[in-house]
Amino acid sequence: MNALLRYFPALLAVLFVSLALAAGEESVELQSAPGRDVVVARCSVCHSVDYVQMNAPVLDRAGWQKSVRKMIDQFGAPISEEDAQRILDYLATNY
């Protein structure tokens, strides 16, 4: 049960993205800016980049930093510290 709660946010995001795609909606396009390529390459390994725009209204730089750290530390995302900084800079600047 504890494991389910641990992965619940990621599962919920996947569910929403799946439902949107099933309904015929297209994926969103991330803003073109430095770091976009790293976000797409690293983040889309585990989830859709739609997650970025779904969370953008409620996350500031500190929130994005916590989210990126959670993906690495709790979910095991294969992201180097250098890429984590580039991802954070991109998200904080553009979203």
Tokens 């730089």 belong to residue: 61
Phi and psi torsions of 45, nearest 5°: -65, -35
Checking if the pLDDT of 37 tops 80, the result is yes
pLDDT tens column, 41-72: 999 999 999 999 999 999 999 999 999 999 99
Helices (H), 23-80: 36-43, 50-55, 61-73
pLDDT at 56: 94
pLDDT tens column, 3-24: 656 766 665 566 555 655 555 4
Domains in the chain, ordered, with CATH?
2-94 (1.10.760.10)
Angle at 66 between CA 58 and CA 3, to 5 degrees: 100
